[in-house]
Amino acid sequence: MTKTPSSFVLASGNAGKIRELQALLPDFSLRPQTDFAVPEIAETGGTFVENAILKARNAARYSQLPAIADDSGLVVHALNDAPGIYSARYAGPDANDAQNISKLLNKLDGVAMPERRAYFFCVLVFMRHENDPCPFIAQGRWDGAILERPEGEFGFGYDPVFGVASHHCSAAQLSLEVKNSLSHRGKALALLKHALFENRVV
């Protein structure tokens, strides 16, 4: 008898993020929070962890389902760790990927490649319900460097300018399968998945 997949709400409307997480969690049914008309919540936390908890609690409250929230971003050493938690809105509250990348490259204009070290950071939070006092938290990091110009057409966000030394290309030139095996989100999700099974949450 085939087991019915567990259903969770994903506290995001980002199509690229949803595709990545669903590919990494084939045994689960992830539904975007837009399916439940979950309103966006202000990310008022000062860290990735705080913002992920805010988003998970908000999605669980409105959907009445267990929720997974992701808060992730790009940390660039030469920019005093910016854009960090402001990665998605680096160029403004309504900025798109191209505008964020353009601002990033302008900020790094004249910075030599050895000084363009950066990493993607991801925090995943799982909450069984909005009042869950013990959420599961996992994190992952992916080191790389900021390229001088965008390359590749896959991925989303800052992927076109994130250089992956091991593959001599940008993150946007990797297949989804390869990216998931290397990425900050893939590492965090592997840890979260193990914790959920280990504690018999699913």
Q: What is the pLDDT of residues 95-118, one digit of tens each?
A: 999 999 999 999 999 999 989 999
Q: 119 pLDDT exceeds 70?
A: yes
CA distance 71 to 146: 20
- Whether 202 shows a pLDDT value over 90: the answer reads no
CB 185 within 8 A of CB 72: yes
State the number of CA atoms in the 13 A half-sphere of 48 facing the CB.
Answer: 27
In the numeric block, which tokens belong to residue 105? 């490259």
> No. of H helices and E strands in the chain?
5, 7
The answer for residues whose C-beta is within 8 angstroms of residue 165's C-beta and 6 or more apart is: 144, 145
- Position 2 scores a pLDDT of 39
pLDDT score of 5: 53
Q: Which residues contact 63 (CB under 8 A, 6 or more apart)?
A: 9, 31, 33, 35, 36, 38
Task: Report residue 18's pLDDT band, with 50, 70 and 90 as the boundaries.
Answer: confident
Q: Specify whether 71 is catalytic.
A: yes
Mean pLDDT for the chain?
A: 92
Structure tokens at 27: 């045994």
Residue 6 binned pLDDT confidence (cut-offs 50, 70, 90): confident
**Stretch 61-77: mean pLDDT, rounded?**
96
Query: What percent of the chain is modeled with pLDDT above 90?
Result: 78
- Higher-confidence position of 19 and 45: 45
Helix (H, G, I), strand (E, B), or coil: what is residue 121?
strand
What's the token pair of residue 136?
């599961």
6-198 folds as Maf protein (3.90.950)
**Active-site choice (35, 70, 71, 109):** 71
DSSP secondary structure string for all residues of 20-76: HHHHH-TTEEEEEGGGGTPPP-----SSHHHHHHHHHHHHHHHH-S-EEEEEEEEEE
Across the range 123-146, mean pLDDT stands at 96
pTM of the model: 0.89
